[in-house]
Amino acid sequence: MNIIQLFCDIANFIKAKDFSLRDKVKINYSRKNDIKVIAYKFLGILKIITLNL
């Protein structure tokens, strides 16, 4: 499995989770804030993956 594809899948999964959570809570984040949250979570996952290698 291609590592870039893996990260794309992870990013899409996080994005989907964030949007479903947002729909439940009904909080309207700005688009910029969504991207920042996704980026921080993505970096956290990257850190976890690199530590486990």
Per-residue confidence (pLDDT) for residue 20, from 0 to 100: 61
Q: What is the DSSP string of the chain?
A: --HHHHHHHHHHHHHHHHHHHHHHHT----HHHHHHHHHHHHHHHHHHHHHH-
d(CA 14, CA 42): 8
Q: How far is CA 9 from CA 19, 27, 30, in A?
A: 15, 25, 23
Per-domain residue ranges of the chain? 3-52
Q: List, for residues 1-53, the tens digit of each pLDDT value.
A: 577 777 777 777 766 666 565 555 554 555 566 777 777 888 888 887 788 76
Distance of CA 17 to the CA centre of its chain: 8
